[in-house]
Every structure is written in structure tokens, then in C-alpha cells.
Amino acid sequence: MKNLFRFLTKNAHWLLFIGLLALSSWLLVHYNDFQRSRFMSASQEITGRVYAVSGAIDSYIGLKNENTALMQRIALLEQEILQYRSRIENLQEYIQINDSARYHPSQWRYITARILYNQVLLTKNYLILNKGSNDGVKAGMGVISSEGTVVGQVMRGGVSPHFSRVIPLLNPDSKPSCKILSSDFRGILVWDGKDSRYSYLNDLPGHTIFNTGDTIVTTGASAIFPEGVPIGVVADSFNNKNNGYNSLKIKLFTDFNTLKEVFIVEYNLKDEQEALEQGNYGEGGTE
Amino acid sequence: MTKTILQQTLLFFAFVFLQVCCFNRVHIFGYATPIVYSYFILKLPVKLNRNYVILIAAAMGFIIDIFCSTPGLNMLSMVFVGFVRYWLIKLFIPKDMTDDGIPSFETFGMPLFMRYATIAVIFHIALLLIFETLSLLNPLMLFAHITGSAILTALLIFAFEKIHLPA
């Protein structure tokens, strides 16, 4: 105790120095806007670096789950391929397939991409992907999750050489046309900006046949998505008596909170189809 | 002794007053501002307790801060100056000087006091200006500021000393 006291008195100038230093630094940071902003930005830089490292570790840990999901998906697809292959073999015995049909190339091209930035909390959300025009991404292309469910559409004017901006289903501007798988009734999916798990299928005719739990898929009419990409299931329904249209509450398949890897899909014949829809195919010299 | 304490107190406020009302308004070529109040700390008696030196330096910085409405800025740099003064004196004090004198041209000799004062002034001004900008965004500008102010301040201090010398 005596030694401690002696030590303290002997080194009082150090304590005094550190104490006054702390006091003046506090005064400086607390009462001066400029120094405070410098302090804040410096500390933000440091915390940002820490978060980047921890985020990298997090995504590394998350790889395991991601991998299992991908493996499951691959297994499922393999299974499907086998099914189709055996079906084709069966069919070949009955039908003479001509060569042009057999070697018809796939009209859909897939580009893999990773999500760099993901919003779910706002009313108008956007995603940023790590692929851009250099990788063949164009405005208006569809985006599908690694589980094969609908995510959204590449925004018009939202493609830079290395990045692209996506309007996900969680944005009222995203209005994909979709249908009830079992009955083929069509409507337009619109998000109400509230719950990231649910969206609403509007403009269904009053006589629509549906059950809770029915799957909703894309129509493939607008050449953004292939036909039959799953979107969600019917969770609830509202009957709008004023205009005779039905509204369905849809539970989305895609979990936007955990989304990491996506596919951007391109329809190779989109230009051709659009030209035909506008009625100038072969007339305006486009082809 | 009591007389010197009274004198020192008056001198203390004289320096604050001079710095705040006069020297702080000088910006020669936009680079050089004399920041001479650390001279008071340099001129405290050699044998004065280090704790007192630090406290007086901090108090001086704080009072200047109140006038300049930059709380903590001058205080921070002055705390450093008060803290390192002990080692500076140890470094430059002549071997034969034993009494509790005051550092000056007379007691230290001109070259030694010049070095002592110059190093202290550069240290003080560099810290002050670095904490003021808190960035190295414009290092050349900062360096010019520090050099200009330090040279001007050192020259002023030498001039003070020279005037004092005969008295």
C-alpha cells in the first residue's frame, strides 16, 4: 500500500498528463463540430472495416448451408433430367422426331450473379447484382433465385458495365403477370410495401377457381421469365364486390432476407417476339 | 517569492490577452500566425514541480480556448507542451546551472535557449494545427502553416528575449 502510494506520487505527472489529455480530447470532440465529424468518420471507417471482415467470415460460414441447398437443387434437377431422358426414350419409340426439333437450342440463357446490396425494409426496394452489361446483362431481363423462384427484373436504365440494379417483387413498380397453376387464371402481382413475405395478386376475374395453397407461377407471356417459374402460394383471398375482381394474398417462395445467389435469365428470342407483338416483324427491316 | 507569483499571474493573463486580442488576428501571407503563449510555459522556473507546469499549461490552453471558442484544442496541445518541458529542459540545461533560475538567453546561453524554445514551439504549433485539421488531406498546406507559424513565433520569442536581456 505504501509502495503503491509512493509509486502514484512519483508518477503523478503521468496521471495528470493522461487525465488532462483525456479531458481536452473529450472537450475537443464533444464541442467542436468539425473535429467531431472527423472523429465520427474515422471511427466509422474502422467499424466499417471490422464489419467487412466479420461479413466475410459470416458469408464463409453461410457457405455450408448454401452448398447443401445447391446440392439438393442439383440432385432434384438431375432427377428431373433422368425422368425426361427416359420419357424421351419411351416417346422415341412411337414418334419419328425430325432433326430440327431434336436439336432445337434452349431459348433461355442463364447468367449467375451474386447480390451485393439487398433492401427489404423500404416500400420501394432494390437489389444490386455483381454482373453488368460486360457480362451480357440487359435491362428488362428476369432474375430468379438459386432455388428457382422469381426474384424480380433488371431495371430499365439500371445496368452499368459491372453492376446491375434489380426491381425485386418487393417493389410496387414490379408487376409481373402470373397465373394460378391449377386453373390458368391470370393476374398481376403487386406488392403493398408492408410485409416482405407476402404480395398480392390482383385483377383476377370474379369467377376464378382457386384454393388456399394453390401455387402461383409466371405466365411466360412477356418473355421476361420462362413459363411456370414458381412465385408463391395462395395464403388468403379478398373478394372485391365493387368491380367483381378477386384479390389473392400470396406467400412468396423467395425469402428476400437471405437471398445471396441468383440467376439472370435471358430469352434469346425476346427481340423477335417483341417485334412480332408490335406488328412490325419483317416490315420495318428489323430482321 | 510572493512577488514573483503575483508577477507570474499577471504575466499569465498578459500572454492570454496578447494572444487572443492581438496575435490570433495576424495571418501573414495566410500562412504564419504567431502563437506565442507557450513562451510563458517555457519561462517558468526550472525547478518548478512538473505537475504544476502541466496544470498551468492546461489552464492557459483552456482559457485561450474559451476566448477562441475551440474548447479543448489549445488545451490539448498545451498539455503536451507542459508534459515534455521537463525533458526539454533536461536536454538543454547547461551543466553548471544549479540554482532555480528561469530559462533565458542569460542562464542557458543563446544557442541552447534558442534550440530549447524552437523545439518547444515547433512541437506546440505542429500539434495545435494537426489537431485543428485532424486530417492529412492537404499535407503540403498543413506543413506550410506549421513552418510559417513556427518560424514567426520563434523569431518573436527571440526578440522578446533580446529585449529582456539587458534588464
Residue A184: CB atoms within 10 A of its CB come to 10
CATH topology of domain B2-164: Arp2/3 complex 21 kDa subunit ARPC3 (1.10.1760)
Q: What is the pLDDT of residue B33?
A: 85
Q: What is the pLDDT of residue B125?
A: 92
Backbone angles phi, psi at A127, to 5 degrees: -120, 150
Q: What is the pLDDT of residue A32?
A: 77
Q: Of chain B residues 35-74, which have a CB less than 8 A from chain A? A: 50-51, 54-55, 58, 61-62, 65, 70-73
- Asked if B125 has any chain A CB less than 8 Å from its own CB, the reply is no
Cross-chain Cβ contact A28/B50 below 8 Å: no
- Asked if B34 has any chain A CB less than 8 Å from its own CB, the reply is no
Q: What is the pLDDT of residue B108?
A: 81
Confidence of residue B78 (pLDDT cuts 50, 70, 90): very high
Q: What is the pLDDT of residue A101?
A: 46
Q: SS3 for chain B, per residue?
A: CHHHHHHHHHHHHHHHHHHHHCHHHCCECCCECCCCCHHHHHCCCCCCCHHHHHHHHHHHHHHHHHHHCCCCHHHHHHHHHHHHHHHHHHHHCCCCCCCCCCCCHHHHCHHHHHHHHHHHHHHHHHHHHHHHHCCCCCHHHHHHHHHHHHHHHHHHHHHHHHHHCCC
Q: What is the pLDDT of residue B44?
A: 84
* B165 CB-near residues (< 8 Å, 6+ apart): B104, B105, B106
Q: What is the pLDDT of residue A186?
A: 86
User: Which range scores top for mean pLDDT: A56-60, B17-21, B58-62?
Assistant: B58-62
Mind telling me how many Å the CA of A27 is from chain B's nearest CA?
A: 5
Cross-chain Cβ contact A27/B79 below 8 Å: no
Confidence of residue B18 (pLDDT cuts 50, 70, 90): confident
Q: Please give the average pLDDT of every successive group of 10 residues along chain A, which has 287 residues.
A: 82 86 86 75 73 76 81 82 82 61 60 80 80 85 86 85 86 85 86 85 80 86 81 82 78 86 82 76 49
Q: Which residue of B has its CA nearest to A12?
A: B51
Nearest alpha-carbon partner for A231 in A145, A125, A149: A149
Q: What is the pLDDT of residue B98?
A: 64
Backbone angles phi, psi at A257, to 5 degrees: -70, -30
Q: Which residue of A has its CA nearest to B86?
A: A13
If you average pLDDT over every residue of chain B, what do you get?
84
Q: What is the pLDDT of residue B136?
A: 65
Confidence of residue B118 (pLDDT cuts 50, 70, 90): very high
Q: What is the pLDDT of residue A287?
A: 41
Q: What is the pLDDT of residue A117?
A: 77
Mind telling me how many Å the CA of A24 is from chain B's nearest CA?
A: 4
Confidence of residue B166 (pLDDT cuts 50, 70, 90): low
Q: What is the pLDDT of residue B77?
A: 92
The CATH superfamily holding the domain A105-269 is Rod shape-determining protein MreC, domain 2 (2.40.10.350)
Chain A residues whose CB is inside 8 A of the B137 CB are none
Interhelix angle for A2-10 vs A12-31, to 10°? 60
Nearest to A38 among B51, B65, B134 (CB): B134
User: Would you kindly state where each structural domain of chain A is located, as residue ranges?
Assistant: 105-269
Q: What percent of chain B has pLDDT over 90?
A: 20
Chain B residues whose CB is inside 8 A of the A27 CB are 65, 71-72, 75
